Chains A and B, each alone.
Chain A
Amino acid sequence: EPEVTQTPSHQVTQMGQEVILRCVPISNHLYFYWYRQILGQKVEFLVSFYNNEISEKSEIFDDQFSVERPDGSNFTLKIRSTKLEDSAMYFCASDSGRGADQPQHFGDGTRLSIL
């Protein structure tokens, strides 16, 4: 069964450094999402992306965050200058867009640790 893949599985970065998290959504899916989960807390929405544009973003997704679909297969989340509070699991998701009821499918995440 097709799945969303994310790399790396674990990223350790010094505070203030830039980090790029990578995702390969399910082929032929049209809608893409990033979520994060701080340890022990709920999964939170960050941003949705469709047709090479951000569709919606949350308050968490400030100017330090950006997303890109550089080559038609990868979907990336960049954090420009990381902070300690950015430490979390980051999940990518995609859905087919073939109907309003279509479920999102999630990757297994990247654990981001900021030192």
Chain B
Amino acid sequence: DAKTTQPPSMDCAEGRAANLPCNHSTISGNEYVYWYRQIHSQGPQYIIHGLKNNETNEMASLIITEDRKSSTLILPHATLRDTAVYYCIAGQTSYDKVIFGPGTSLSVIP
């Protein structure tokens, strides 16, 4: 799996968009970008993944740069319940282990 780099922490005002960046400059052509989050004392929760096109689901949007060396997870209207550690992973998670880094600790502030 390619190494990813994320800021250790971020704050976001409640109701505003949270934009979480991730660098994955060594990602290879067949590796996907996945985002998970871990709310305190719970298991990692899958959010979204993509290869090269931007993706959107009911939880978030994923923007991947054209060169695929970085991506941004967007939570369009952050709520207090979005306070969590967010993990960006580059690889293929089926048939293979997920390697979690330290992630970004997002605090949504009232």
B91 CB → nearest A CB, Å: 10
Across the A-B interface, the 10 shortest Cβ-Cβ residue pairs: A106-B43, A45-B97, A102-B94, A43-B100, A103-B46, A100-B92, A108-B43, A106-B44, A95-B94, A91-B43
Contact A55 B95, beta carbon cutoff 8 Å: yes
Answer yes or no: B28 CB below 8 A from chain A CBs: no
Contact of B42 with A103 in the complex, beta carbons under 8 Å: no
CA distance A106 to B98 in the complex (A): 11
* Interfacial residues of chain B within 54-107, with CB under 8 A of chain A in the complex: 92-102
Interface residue range, chain B? 20 to 34
| Residues in A1-56 with C-beta less than 8 Å from chain B | 4, 6, 31, 33, 35, 42-45, 48, 50, 55-56
Interface of B is mostly: loop
Q: Which of A4, A58, A91: most chain B CB closer than 10 A? A: A91
Residue of B nearest to A9 (CB): B41
Partner of A31, one of B44, B45, B94: B94
Q: How many residues of A contact B (CB 8 A)?
A: 32
CB of A113 closer than 8 Å to a CB of B: no
**A interface with B by C-beta (< 8 Å):** 4, 6, 31, 33, 35, 42-45, 48, 50, 55-56, 58, 89, 91, 93, 95-109
A48 to B43, alpha carbons, bound, how many Å?
Answer: 17
- Which residue in A45, A101, A108 is a CB contact (below 8 Å) of B92? A101
Q: Is the CB of B98 within 8 A of A45?
A: yes
Task: Determine the chain A residues whose CB is within 8 A of the CB of B96 once the complex forms.
Answer: 48, 56
